[in-house]
Structure formats: C-alpha cells, structure tokens
C-alpha cells in the first residue's frame, strides 16, 4: 500500500465502515478464485449452463495446446512447409473454429462471427 495514495482514507468512510471493508476484502482474498462465484451473472451462467461452461473450457484448452504446438513447430520455416503434424494442427484448429462458428450462428450471437480470427483471439484471450 502506498501511504500517499490511501484510497480508504480518501473515500470518507467512517472507521466502522473501513473495518468492514477491510474484513470483506480479506475474506475475498482468502476465498481465492471461488470469489468469482459472488458475481451473480457468472454464478447463474455456471449453474444454469454447466455443460456450456465445460464445453467452452474444453475448446479453449484444446485450442491453447494446439496454438502452443503450432508456435513451436512454426519456428523452423523450412520444416514447417513439409511438417505433416503442423498441417494436422492447422486443420484441427479450423475444424474447432467451424464448430464454434456454427454454435454461435445457431444461438443467434450478435458479435462479428464473420471474422474467424476475432473469435479465435477472443477464445484464447
């Protein structure tokens, strides 16, 4: 904490309110990543659509692994042109993105689904 930039002192809270604020923040820090479940929209998405959340997580994990392998294999450009595994990686990425595109289209997504790079980058973000 930077004493010159003490937000708690500058916000004008009473001492009792400051103590409650500190207690709440401490509880959230101790709770760890599960604190995100305090956000009602995220909690509802997980509870109401667990299959969607698991599906997205699986898609993202696979794309991340494929992307990392692609980066490793693409470093040597001479080998990359004839690398059968790299071609398979690129094909699998394309297949995944086509499936994501179709899911978004059928669900009536309002984002720019005509730009596959945008969707790919958002998933890996």
Assigned domain for 21 exists: no
| pLDDT for res 36 | 79
Domain limits for position 95: 51-124
What would the pLDDT profile of 42-93 be if each residue is shown by its tens digit? 777 767 766 777 788 889 999 999 999 888 887 766 666 677 888 899 899 9
| pLDDT for res 106 | 77
Assigned domain for 59 exists: yes
| 64 or 40, which is more confident | 64
Assigned domain for 66 exists: yes
Does the model's pTM come out above 0.85?
Answer: no
Q: Quote the CA–CA distance of 113 and 104 in Å, as a whole number.
A: 7
Please say whether the beta carbons of 104 and 113 come within 8 A. Answer: yes
> How many domains is the chain built from?
1
Assigned domain for 39 exists: no
Helical ranges in the chain per DSSP H = 7-10, 15-31, 40-48, 50-74, 77-80, 84-106, 116-124
């Amino acid at each position: 904490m930077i004493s010159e930039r003490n937000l708690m002192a500058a916000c004008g809270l009473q001492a009792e309110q400051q103590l409650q604020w500190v207690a709440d923040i401490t509880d959230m820090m101790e709770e760890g990543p599960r604190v995100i479940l305090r956000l009602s929209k995220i909690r509802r998405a997980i509870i109401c659509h667990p299959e969607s959340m698991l599906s997205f997580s699986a898609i993202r994990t696979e794309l991340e692994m494929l992307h990392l392998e692609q980066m490793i294999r693409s470093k040597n450009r001479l080998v990359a042109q004839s690398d059968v595994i790299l071609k398979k990686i690129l094909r699998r990425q394309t297949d995944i993105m086509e499936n994501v595109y179709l899911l978004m289209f059928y669900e009536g997504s309002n984002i720019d689904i005509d730009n596959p790079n945008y969707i790919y980058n958002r998933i890996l973000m």
